Chain A
Amino acid sequence: MEINVAQLFQTINLATIMPEIILSVVGMALLLVNVFVPSKSKGYLAWLSLAGLVAAGYTAACGWGQNVDGFSGSVVLDNFAIFFKLIFVIAAGLAVLISDQYMEREGCNQGELYPMVLFTTVGMMLMASGTDMMTIFLGLELMSISLYVLAGFNRANVKSNESGLKYFLLGAFSTGFLLYGMALVYGATGYTRIAKIAAVASQMGQPDILLLIGALLILTGFAFKIAIVPFHMWTPDVYEGAPTPVTALMSAGPKAAAFAAFLRMFLVAFPSMKADWSDLLWILAVLTMTVGNITALRQDNIKRMLAYSSIAHAGYALVGFAAANTTGTSGILFYMLSYAFMNIGAFAIVVLVAKQGETNGNVQDFAGLGHKRPALAAIMTLFLFSLAGIPPTAGFIGKFYLFSGAVEAGYIWLAVIGVLNSAASAYYYLRVMVYMYMKPAEEEFGWVSLTAPVSLALLVSFLGTLIPGVVPSYLLQLAQAAVKVIS
């Protein structure tokens, strides 16, 4: 058999994965460069990886509206994937910017952090682009394996070790379920490609039992990654123990990536079983919101509080998923983007307030910040408002679209429970504000000296939280154009 090289390249179509190629190359180059950079000036690596991320984001954005696919249809660069890729680039970029100051303070300033962040971003991008169970699986694993390393990055710190260990064991465990689900779906339909699975599944009148169990196991696998109750137990421990910039990345990026693959699998491959999974997601959304918010109420450690709050936020996003209409799904995209800004912004402040050895990380330690550093406290207030869903912030608009999606789909009660939960969550966000403004400072703050990268991260996340809250329409149109390809 003769192989036509030109034709082969046309089928492969490397342009589809250009953002991933750029990030991988930059990541590998940084690994090499890292060897020659003295440990005091690892900050340069942060700027280099930021440049790589911007280049990848720009390349992805250039493909907007073109819907090209490659590797005979197993990866695709459509609007949906591009929107998510931009979320990942933003999340990784902000995390990289706040890393240098933190790592220097904690004394684990090895440059390998930056390549690992880039590799995990490549994994997330592949997940958003994957239209075949194989590529989704490979993306998920590339993302997860790099994240295991990042969670345990601070080798000398026992909490970081624990975080990495727990994340690794539970992450690998959940992968087993996801894979078993994929195997059963493959057995029921005979294909691994999502579009073909959809074609076969829609022809079955009554869904095959093998297909149902497979879909359920896939749901379990993604639920672990998104931290949906009852698969959330790892989240608080892993988030608390991991280095703070990594926690910031973990709460925004992988969650969005898992949602991307989850949405694509269920809306494209299994729309014929929508009646089955929609009710299930209804229950999971209520559980996730309620458990996340109630447990967050009693947390003193701020990273742990933000971990439980991230569970609750996954629950809000699930509300839009259960609705599964354009408003709901585009609401998820909008929300994931705003969540990246506001949550990483809040974590940046946590990095600034904490002291060496991750001490000073309790809510009480924010006492007096409003008097000593009014600007920082004001920015933190905006992030907290946004997390609580108070206008005029992106968090409010996002929640508004998610809940109105649920109302449109006829899930009035789900929206009501969501709003009640959102009101309850205001308690623990406002508690931080009470400490910042109404209690006197007890002791000196840690490193509240702002370096250039952290200031840039704060500025970007501040604008990203505020602007979509005031003028949401442009971003919402983009989100709606993005979900058009999967609905």
Chain B
Amino acid sequence: MDNLTNYLLVSAVLFSIGTIGVLTRKNAIVMFMCIELMLNAVNLTFVALSRHLGNLDGQIFVFFIMTVAAAEAAVGLALFIAFFNNRESIDVDDANLMKW
């Protein structure tokens, strides 16, 4: 029982670190790494809960999340490269052509 609380606590902390990172960092790649950290925090939650509840649904969910995260990384890095080719920067502050 106590074990579950610890796992959930660690994943909540990891998720928060990821969220804060996305909100404060300016480099798109670092932001994306923070997003990956959030996703892995979710994975940890799923695995811990799955073990606690004694059913496998959560662990299967984790496989899907990992697969999707890989696809997302491929597309994301391609977008970063396209942006870098035109602006010579990967800083989100340089994504400033459109303002209201």
Which residues of A are interface residues toward B (Cβ below 8 A)? 133-134, 137-138, 141, 145, 148-149, 152, 155-156, 158-159, 161-162, 164-166, 168-169, 172-173, 175-176, 179-180, 182-184, 186-187, 190-192, 236-237, 240-241, 295, 298-299, 304
B interface majority secondary structure: helix
| 25 A-B contact pairs sorted by A residue (CB < 8 Å) | A133-B61, A134-B60, A134-B61, A134-B64, A137-B68, A138-B64, A141-B68, A152-B82, A158-B97, A161-B79, A162-B98, A169-B32, A172-B72, A176-B18, A176-B19, A176-B35, A176-B39, A180-B42, A183-B49, A186-B46, A186-B49, A187-B53, A190-B55, A191-B57, A192-B61
Q: How far is the CB of B76 from chain A (nearest CB, A)?
A: 5
What does the 1/0 interface line of B78-100 toward A look like (CB < 8 Å)? 11101101110000100101101
Which residue of B has the minimal Cβ distance to A140?
Answer: B68
Which residue of A has the minimal Cβ distance to B94?
Answer: A162
What does the 1/0 interface line of B34-53 toward A look like (CB < 8 Å)? 01001101100110010011
Name the one of A141, A191, A237, A298 contacting B72, with C-beta atoms under 8 angstroms. Answer: A141
Q: How far is the CB of B44 from chain A (nearest CB, A)?
A: 9
**A299 surroundings in chain B (CB, below 8 A):** 100
Given contacts A168-B76, A169-B32, A179-B65, contact A155 B82 (CB under 8 A): yes
Judge whether B57 and A192 touch: CB under 8 Å.
yes
**A175 surroundings in chain B (CB, below 8 A):** 39
Which residue of A has the minimal Cβ distance to B63?
Answer: A134
Which residue of A has the minimal Cβ distance to B61?
Answer: A134
Name the one of B18, B39, B92 contacting A165, with C-beta atoms under 8 angstroms. Answer: B92
Judge whether B82 and A180 touch: CB under 8 Å.
no
Q: How far is the CB of A71 from chain B (nearest CB, A)?
A: 12
Which residue of B has the minimal Cβ distance to A181?
Answer: B42
**B8 surroundings in chain A (CB, below 8 A):** 187
**B78 surroundings in chain A (CB, below 8 A):** 149
Judge whether A176 and B83 touch: CB under 8 Å.
no
Given contacts A161-B87, A165-B28, A187-B53, contact A295 B100 (CB under 8 A): yes
Given contacts A162-B95, A165-B95, A172-B72, contact A186 B57 (CB under 8 A): yes
**B31 surroundings in chain A (CB, below 8 A):** 169
Judge whether B98 and A236 touch: CB under 8 Å.
yes
**B97 surroundings in chain A (CB, below 8 A):** 158-159, 162, 241
**B22 surroundings in chain A (CB, below 8 A):** 169, 173
**A133 surroundings in chain B (CB, below 8 A):** 61
Given contacts A172-B72, A183-B42, contact A164 B57 (CB under 8 A): no
Judge whether A304 and B100 touch: CB under 8 Å.
yes
A-B pairs, top 9 by smallest CB distance, nearest first, are: A176-B38, A187-B49, A183-B45, A161-B83, A179-B42, A162-B95, A141-B68, A164-B79, A237-B98
Judge whether B86 and A161 touch: CB under 8 Å.
yes
**A168 surroundings in chain B (CB, below 8 A):** 75-76, 79
The CA of A51 and the CA of B53, in the complex, are separated in Å by 47
Which residues of B are interface residues toward A (Cβ below 8 A)? 8, 15, 18-19, 22, 28, 31-32, 35, 38-39, 41-42, 45-46, 49, 52-53, 55, 57-58, 60-61, 64-65, 68, 71-72, 75-76, 78-80, 82-83, 85-87, 92, 95, 97-98, 100
Judge whether B64 and A240 touch: CB under 8 Å.
no
**B46 surroundings in chain A (CB, below 8 A):** 183, 186
**A159 surroundings in chain B (CB, below 8 A):** 97-98
**B86 surroundings in chain A (CB, below 8 A):** 156, 158, 161
Judge whether B58 and A172 touch: CB under 8 Å.
no
The CA of A159 and the CA of B79, in the complex, are separated in Å by 12
The CA of A196 and the CA of B55, in the complex, are separated in Å by 14
Judge whether A148 and B39 touch: CB under 8 Å.
no
The CA of A145 and the CA of B39, in the complex, are separated in Å by 16
The CA of A298 and the CA of B100, in the complex, are separated in Å by 9
Name the one of B18, B60, B75, B85 contacting A145, with C-beta atoms under 8 angstroms. Answer: B75
Q: Of B57, B64, B78, which is in contact with the most chain A CB atoms at under 10 Å from its CB?
A: B57
Beyond A137-B61, A149-B78, A176-B38, 5 extra complex contacts between A and B, CB < 8 Å:
A165-B92, A169-B22, A169-B92, A172-B72, A179-B39
Which residue of B has the minimal Cβ distance to A148?
Answer: B75
Which residue of A has the minimal Cβ distance to B12?
Answer: A180
The CA of A168 and the CA of B95, in the complex, are separated in Å by 13
The CA of A241 and the CA of B98, in the complex, are separated in Å by 8
Q: How far is the CB of A221 from chain B (nearest CB, A)?
A: 11
Given contacts A133-B61, A134-B60, A161-B86, contact A172 B100 (CB under 8 A): no
The CA of A220 and the CA of B46, in the complex, are separated in Å by 19
Given contacts A180-B15, A180-B42, contact A166 B57 (CB under 8 A): no
The CA of A236 and the CA of B98, in the complex, are separated in Å by 9
Judge whether A164 and B32 touch: CB under 8 Å.
no
Judge whether A145 and B79 touch: CB under 8 Å.
no
Q: How far is the CB of A430 from chain B (nearest CB, A)?
A: 21
